[in-house]
Copies of this chain bind each other. A is one copy, B any other.
């Protein structure tokens, strides 16, 4: 039995995750949710006390036009989830029901709505902030969290199709956003150490689609645009990226016309916390019964 299915099987057997019949789509127990909620409070406690982010919670779907504008389909077409609906009349409905009854593919008649599932918590943010006009002198700082969708069915519990990402996003001058990212690379390691997990910082690249995507990934890595905190979840040899620190340069600024107070194109950076992945790492390391977790870890989470 490989470690991946082993952890998933143990989590399902313990009732911490609940099987829905689809790989990567699980219910969460109250205990699992409590760990996520407590870890989010610990994130708050590790955030700089003098910075006051604007808290926004977007729902798990975003404006399709904004999604199209983001360029996501260029980089990760295989991961996106568009939302489609039935838009027909009563006769169409009768045909639809007959198709379902006969086991046919009734989904072909579904039409795309204006909604696309959020691929990363910060994607809905940039166009919304750009619409407000230039950033204030100090730049912008935002606190986000939402369910995100990625179409990559897998038995690896750390690769869910629907999972939550907490994010802080910084917008401003290159200096402002680089300082933010450096600061969080430090804070992130302290945060993970506080819950008794081994952590390793490394440069990384996104899983861009296709052969051209390979080159994009190499370039991203060479320019050190993406760092990740790797933590053992299903394997100590192949660690899982649980936090990522991304410098987008002026990509979103140019895309959405986002400017600094001085009228320059804004640069942006984000730090993202994979909440399910971190929670899985905690259960993998400290055991499936939170009552048995080390005293210092319990104190960090439950006070």
Contacts and interface: CB of A to CB of B under 8 A. Distances in A.
A86 B73 contact: yes
5 contacts: A30-B57, A60-B60, A77-B93, A81-B83, A83-B117
A27 B124 contact: yes
Contacts of A61: 25, 149, 161-162
A85 B83 contact: no
Contacts of A143: 30
A214 to B, nearest CB: 11
A163 B163 CA distance: 17
Interface string A211-245: 10000000000000000000000000000000000
A63 interface: yes
Nearest to A59: B162
A148 B171 CA distance: 31
A93 B209 contact: yes
A28 B144 CA distance: 10
B56 A106 contact: no
A171 to B, nearest CB: 16
Given A62-B25, A65-B21, A161-B115, A80 B73 contact: no
A100 B63 CA distance: 15
Contacts of A153: 114
A68 B22 contact: no
Nearest to A68: B100
Given A82-B85, A84-B81, A85-B80, A147 B60 contact: yes
Interface of A: 18-22, 25-30, 32-33, 54-66, 68, 73-74, 77-88, 90, 93, 96-97, 100, 105-108, 110-115, 117, 124, 127-128, 131, 143, 147, 149, 151, 153, 160-163, 209-211
The 6 closest A-B pairs by CB, nearest first: A30-B55, A107-B112, A59-B162, A85-B151, A77-B86, A81-B83
B96 A73 contact: yes
Which of A151, A153, A210 has its CB near the most chain B CB atoms (within 10 A)? Answer: A151
A114 to B, nearest CB: 5
Contacts of A55: 29-30, 33
A87 B87 CA distance: 23
B58 A29 contact: no
A28 to B, nearest CB: 5
A18 B161 contact: no
